[in-house]
């Protein structure tokens, strides 16, 4: 996977389950085809939204292999690594390569709050164990470890670290990264509610959550911004924001699965200890989803636009 492939919309795919708690590959395929039709550029499997913490290692590789088989040739499949042990992370990285993954999205060490040197060593050891390219997931809000600009200076020395999932929730960090590193890294917006702002600031791509349910609108916003058609992008984004806010919530998995189920491309089933939404909580989320479906915007031909506004 060369550096140029790190661009566009990469859904952080949900993992659909059956009532018997097995992976529903029929629904997984249905969602993949909806994503491809919408114009996504690649996919990420077994991330936080994909319920990685409850998947076995073998299930993660099954998702990789199925996605590779189902997607168009050349479309990248990226596996998420979120582990508490460097040894386990390295082992998964090595197996990912042999199971067909095109890249890795790597979170900092789980559970243990590693310091800066430990975190850099963790990422470096994983990168040096594989020829696969890496995206570093920087999310101090949820994972309590920030990858600072100084840490990225060290990581920039590792040739197969290609991309950053920028989830600090500070939109100005996109500009800091470009100012410090130029085009050394591909920068992806990792927070659904900030896609408009961060793509306008030059982000190369988006790792999205609500794209699992509304792929066309997500790709349309990205393409329209890159083409300089901001007015139409803003109109879609304003319609989309109540949905996007479902992603920045402790129950983002349940919220997004419910949205994807409502549009017929996933199921609500989640794996314990998660439980499906019920009662008033479910009604509130459904009201947001159903209102969005009722008022869904008519999209222009967003797949055939000329990129006129790239800041990179």
113: left (phi over 0), alpha (psi -120 to 50) or beta: beta
What predicted TM-score, i.e. pTM, was given to this entire model?
A: 0.96
Relative to beta strand 186-189, strand 161-166 is parallel
- Give me the number of domains the chain comprises: 1
Residue 109 in any domain: the answer is yes
Residue 237 in any domain: the answer is yes
Tell me, what's the pLDDT at 4? 87
- Block mean pLDDT (10 aa), the chain, length 312: 92 98 98 98 97 97 98 97 96 96 97 96 98 97 96 98 98 98 98 98 98 98 97 98 97 98 98 98 98 97 77 43
Helix axes 25-38, 57-70, angle to 10 degrees: 50
Residue 276 in any domain: the answer is yes
Residue 249 in any domain: the answer is yes
Question: Cα–chain-centroid distance for residue 219?
Answer: 13
Residue 62 in any domain: the answer is yes
Q: What is the CATH number of the domain that holds 90?
A: 3.20.20.70
Residue 96 in any domain: the answer is yes
Residue 308 in any domain: the answer is no
Q: In the chain, what is the straight-line distance between the N-terminal and C-terminal CA atoms, in Å?
A: 20
Residue 306 in any domain: the answer is no
Question: What domain range is 101 assigned to?
Answer: 3-294
């Amino acid at each position: 996977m060369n550096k140029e492939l790190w661009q566009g919309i990469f859904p952080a795919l949900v993992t659909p389950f059956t009532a018997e708690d097995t992976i529903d590959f029929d629904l997984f395929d249905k969602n993949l085809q909806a994503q491809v039709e919408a114009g996504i550029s690649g996919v990420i499997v077994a991330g936080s939204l994909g319920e990685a913490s409850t998947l076995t290692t073998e299930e993660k590789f099954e998702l990789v292999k199925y996605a590779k088989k189902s997607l168009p040739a050349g479309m990248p499949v990226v596996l998420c690594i979120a582990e508490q042990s460097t040894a386990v992370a390295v082992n998964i990285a090595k197996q990912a390569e042999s199971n067909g993954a095109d890249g890795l999205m790597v979170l900092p060490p789980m559970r243990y709050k590693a310091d800066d040197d430990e975190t850099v060593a963790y990422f470096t050891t994983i990168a040096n164990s594989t020829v696969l390219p890496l995206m570093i997931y920087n999310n101090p809000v949820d994972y309590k470890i920030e990858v600072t600009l100084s840490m990225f200076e060290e990581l920039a020395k590792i040739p197969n670290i290609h991309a950053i999932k920028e989830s600090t929730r500070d939109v100005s960090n996109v500009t800091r990264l470009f100012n410090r590193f130029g085009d050394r890294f591909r920068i992806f917006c990792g927070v659904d509610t900030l896609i408009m702002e961060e793509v306008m600031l030059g982000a190369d791509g988006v790792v999205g959550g609500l794209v699992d349910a509304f792929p066309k609108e997500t790709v349309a916003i990205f393409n329209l911004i890159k083409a300089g058609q901001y007015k139409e992008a803003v109109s879609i984004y304003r319609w989309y924001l109540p949905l996007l806010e479902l992603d920045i919530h402790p129950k983002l998995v349940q919220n997004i699965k419910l949205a994807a189920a409502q549009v017929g491309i996933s199921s609500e089933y989640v794996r314990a200890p998660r439980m499906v939404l019920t009662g008033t909580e479910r009604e509130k989320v459904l009201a947001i989803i159903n209102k969005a479906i009722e008022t869904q915007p008519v999209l222009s031909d967003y797949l055939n636009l000329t990129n006129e506004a790239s800041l990179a």
